[in-house]
Structure 1
Amino acid sequence: MPVEQIDDPSVKIKPPSKLIHFVRKNIDVAEAPTGLRALKKSHKSAVPLKIEDIKWLNDFLIEHRKISSTKVYIHELLEGADVILPQPKITPRNPVLEARIQKLTAQQSTREYEAMTKGVDAVRKHYPEDTISYQMKEINKQLIAVAQFVFSVIAAFAFGFIGLELIVGSLDFGFRLLLGIICGLIVALAEIYFLAKKLNEDCWEPPPPKVFTKPHQE
């Protein structure tokens, strides 16, 4: 699924109970950064801390070990802490697009399964697309589409180059050539659009399930 930009890229840490107890007992609210002040004032244990808060707490512990007989280190307080990584927002996919993708995936899976098992099952061994006549028909369809595209562009160019002169009157050769190219490009773009639309609609449909009948009556 498509994802959006991350609003807050900072990594946060969910403090364990040992760190919470130390902060509430030894940290001065006036000197502490925002995250530690919120942790000290809050009665909830799930107040996440940022990396800046952990750096400040480490500096505080360095000074605290100089004046205190109890030596506390940052790794001891962070033991058992959970790291909260930034998560991007997931944009839900368009239902029409999702249905289209599911349909194409199912068709592709069916096509792969039929191609894999047609050599085992004698009933499904031959398909119309495996015959030469089917391949020739497909080639003819492609050739007709290309020929139609070429003839349409040539006819549009001829209309702009010759037809407009017959309608309007005598025109300069360069202007006639420009008109022919413009008409040809317009028709070419239109033909490409309709050709792409037609190819998009011609999706392969899975063959209908075969009904097997008994050759004799019981």
Structure 2
Amino acid sequence: MASAFVVGDRFKDKVAELLENSDSPMPQHLRQELEKTLEKAEPKTLSFGTARRLKKYLQEKGHPYFLHELLEDSSLHLPEFVKPPRNPELVARLKKIEAKLANEEYNRITRNVNTQELSHSGVLADIGLQVRSAKAMVVTVFNFLVTVVAAFACSYMGSQYLFTDTSARVISAVIAASVVGLAELYVLVRTMEGELGEP
């Protein structure tokens, strides 16, 4: 927060003139403060208290200029902000909280990783699992085809007792094979849904 002015050349000239003028006696304390201000190294600063006393002196003695005229080319002196040192206990707590948050974030990211499943032979175990899955799929498709072909053959052979015409026998065999195939597909889909639905 500002507590002083950085005085300019106008102030220096007018105050030097005031100090040399002996017509109106200036209070000793104010004179010493002004002399000290003019003797300071650059930047020369004038405290607010000294500025108030100077204003009061100028008003009482009826001088032809006012304080704001003296300070026209002056500026506020803003001291440099000194950052207070941080509390070591607070710093330690903040580091502890940051470490905890980082650990929680790490656990959130790696929650899907199961370290017990990882082993040196993990890749081979995955390949074996995929081979077994593919083998089961091939067996299922083969079973489906054999069932449909067998249903067709059975219907075709059995329909010779009902129909004498070959086209009627083929149509009845296709219908029977289609019904058996659809039933087999339904059972297959339900089985796969059950396997996929398991956790």
TM-score range, shorter-chain basis? 0.3 to 0.5
Which structure features the higher share of helix residues? 2
TM-score (structure 1 length as normaliser): 0.36
Mark the structure with the bigger radius of gyration: 2
